[in-house]
């Protein structure tokens, strides 16, 4: 997405999709370079990544339950390949869905406000982690880590702004980041962030 010569954003992570009264979200937690030997087995066996993924799946399942009925996890911890510039990454995802009321289109604003901020950005508990982020960062993110998408009256699709290039007066700033937990390893988290920093070709 490109916005008025101010920023461009590209993101592999969908926020929510709504079609035929079904709302679906696809949390992504756990990334590894595909060239690492036995990469798929390693990322799926990593206890820290598994705990982080479990957390975000539980959070987003609860989030969808605010706006939908019959919420369920359809697929749990499957692996996708993502082309990241010159690299190929393996990304662990899950699929969660629920059923909306038939007049959901008239409540689209309420649905979005109930689900924001995106759980994969905030972590849990949302209110506490957002306050920590505000205190630690000390600046306004603006559009970065927000969501964008389209709504045509019948379908909605959206994604999270997590690969973000912003134009200032005399420079371009690339914004990216990652989630950390009490079990995070500094060097591993930093390398994962570097792996995710790329320019689409």
Instruction: Tell me which of 74-83, 91-100, 106-115, 192-201 is least confident.
Output: 192-201
- Looking at the chain, the whole-number percentage of residues with pLDDT higher than 90 is 45
DSSP of 60-100: HHHHHHHH-EEEEEEEEEEEEEEEETTEEEEEEEEEEEEE-
- Looking at the chain, the whole-number percentage of residues with pLDDT higher than 70 is 98
Check whether 77 has a pLDDT greater than 90: yes
Mean pLDDT of 141-151: 89
Domains of the chain, first to last? 2-191 (3.60.120.10)
Mean pLDDT of 70-76: 97
pLDDT top residue among 15 and 124: 15
- pLDDT at residue 195, as a whole number: 75
Check whether 1 has a pLDDT greater than 70: no
| Contact between residue 26 and residue 94 where contact means Cβ atoms under 8 Å apart | yes
Mention every residue, 6+ apart, whose C-beta is less than 8 A from residue 13: 26, 27, 28, 120, 159, 160, 162
pLDDT top residue among 190 and 96: 96
> Per the residue annotation, which of 29, 52, 175, 196 is the catalytic one?
29
Q: Which residues pair with 125 in a beta bridge?
A: none
- Catalytic residue status for 166: no
Mean pLDDT of 137-159: 90
- pLDDT at residue 184, as a whole number: 79
Query: Considering the chain, what is the average pLDDT of its residues?
Result: 88
Mean pLDDT of 8-17: 84
- Is the peptide bond prior to 199 cis by the omega test (within 30 degrees of 0)? no
pLDDT top residue among 182 and 92: 92
- pLDDT at residue 190, as a whole number: 84
- Residue 23 structure tokens: 């709302």
- Catalytic residue status for 175: no
pLDDT top residue among 196 and 155: 155
**What confidence tier does 7 reach under pLDDT thresholds 50, 70, 90?**
confident
- pLDDT at residue 12, as a whole number: 65
| Contact between residue 95 and residue 143 where contact means Cβ atoms under 8 Å apart | no
Task: Summarize pLDDT for 97-117 with one digit per residue, the tens.
Answer: 999 999 999 999 999 999 999
């Amino acid at each position: 997405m490109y916005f008025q010569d101010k920023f461009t954003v590209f993101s592999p992570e969908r926020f929510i999709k709504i079609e035929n009264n079904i709302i679906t979200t696809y949390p992504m937690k756990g990334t590894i370079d595909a060239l690492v030997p036995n990469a798929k087995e390693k990322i799926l066996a990593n206890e820290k990544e598994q705990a982080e993924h479990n957390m975000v799946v539980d959070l987003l399942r609860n989030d969808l339950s605010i706006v939908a009925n019959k919420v369920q996890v359809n697929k749990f911890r499957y692996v996708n390949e993502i082309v990241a510039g010159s690299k190929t990454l393996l990304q662990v995802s899950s699929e969660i869905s629920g059923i909306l009321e038939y007049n959901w289109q008239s409540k689209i604003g309420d649905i979005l406000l109930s689900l924001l901020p995106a759980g994969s950005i905030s972590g849990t508990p949302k209110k506490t982690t957002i306050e920590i982020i505000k205190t630690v960062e000390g600046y306004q993110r603006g559009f970065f880590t927000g969501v964008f998408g389209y709504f045509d009256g019948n379908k909605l699709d959206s994604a999270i702004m997590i690969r973000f290039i912003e134009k200032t007066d005399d420079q371009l700033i690339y914004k990216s980041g990652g989630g950390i937990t009490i079990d995070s390893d500094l060097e591993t988290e930093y390398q994962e962030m570097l792996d995710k920093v790329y320019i689409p070709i």
